[in-house]
Structure 1
């Protein structure tokens, strides 16, 4: 229930900003009509803004539909990592932007990265990491330039999806506890302590590993088996 509440709050925030844009440009069009100032270039510009903004909202709704599906019986399927990341960002991109957090997406430029996965579950893992990074950056008074980086890499056998933030890192003491169920560093009702534990379980069910990189910043890595050549041919 806590996860559902967090997702609902995030979606409400994401949709509120584009709705404000639509309302603003609609009001301008109405005023132009009332004054009979039918300036064709301005009408075209305002209409284009409204159209593009409704497309943004539609992308969020489609992402929500994907999240709402029951995936218990769904088999692993060949999935494009960039699509999974983009679907995930529809829930939090605006929140990060309005909070002054820079978002960097770094993908393999040589070839598209694929995994065999239940896309919704991997998206849930990434979303949890993004929300954790957001909470950490929002709660720090010592950081000036805040950023979150999502990076995908692959080698001969594995695909790596990392989520890193510019926070102050995690102490050695906490590193031993963060994957324990119900352990949380968030105050009050802001966290259940289940996010990283559930994320680890999801990744393991995909035949992969989920771990914290021992760097200065906070970087979590999702390591998944790279699809076999015959599986990749299906994407060609």
Structure 2
């Protein structure tokens, strides 16, 4: 089974609220349609989720009544983006079923406590590709939390024993320094002990770049092949799914 994470920076323009990249989404859907076998697709929120989630401080838990509007808006906006991606996949011939994290996941004090991965397996068993996404979820201690697409990737990789996890991003892979120096290429592979200099001042509401990379290492430690590819370059996702060499970064386990 293959897990694919379509990053929010690929499927949306993160600099403009509620702005998708329909041409990119349609192309990625076509690339995914050419790969047989069971697969699960997860997508990020980009400008549909992160901006309002940060505006309403949803990552801090439910602390103020004004957040109610933010919870509803973010969940609605994420489902709007999900519908766009779903429709594109269906047009490309991929039968998909949406499983919103907000409907099935429970957190406790900011950590994933309950997530029924068997629901995804049931769809795979009948030949349907499940699709899910980062979402606002209920938290037993804090009221609400943000369940990121990366959280879902780790949980599904562990529970369903994914063979391959591909993170589709807007860059060529992991670079030795951030921001990358001019002319600098991505690291072909990276391990947990390899040094990467993070100097980026801003971080996603779902966590810093370091946290995202840590989740990838955790997935790699399960014995799953983890690869980062640039989804803005035509053909790279399809080549990676086919086992061909592509520019990108392979994340090694310990």
TM-score tier by shorter-chain length is under 0.3
Structure exhibiting the larger radius of gyration computed from Cα positions:
1
Q: Which has the higher contact order (CA 8 A, sep 6+)?
A: 2
Higher helix share: 1
